[in-house]
Amino acid sequence: MFGNISACADELPAALHRDLAEYGRILADGATPIEPAKLIVSMLERFVATDRGFTKARRQERPNIP
């Protein structure tokens, strides 16, 4: 579905990758840490879903699609 998202995660700046790895560890709360690639997908999905400007522009371009 997303192609090779792991390759994308491998190309992140080192500091961002470390932060995402720590974020995934903290979110896991003692369970298996969430991989940065999986976090990236969910974060981008949330970002796009909540971006009001994008939603408005999309509605203007595709008026018959919800």
The model's pLDDT over 6-65, given as tens digits with 9 standing for 90+, comes to 666 668 899 999 999 999 999 999 999 999 999 998 999 999 999 999 989 988 887 776
| Spatial CB neighbours of 48, under 8 Å, sequence gap ≥ 6 | 54
**Nearest Cα residue to 33 out of 22, 21, 25, 23:** 25
Backbone angles phi, psi at 29, to 5 degrees: 50, 55
Report pTM.
Answer: 0.66
The model's pLDDT over 53-65, given as tens digits with 9 standing for 90+, comes to 998 998 888 777 6
- Kindly list the domain boundaries of the chain, sorted by start residue: 5-61
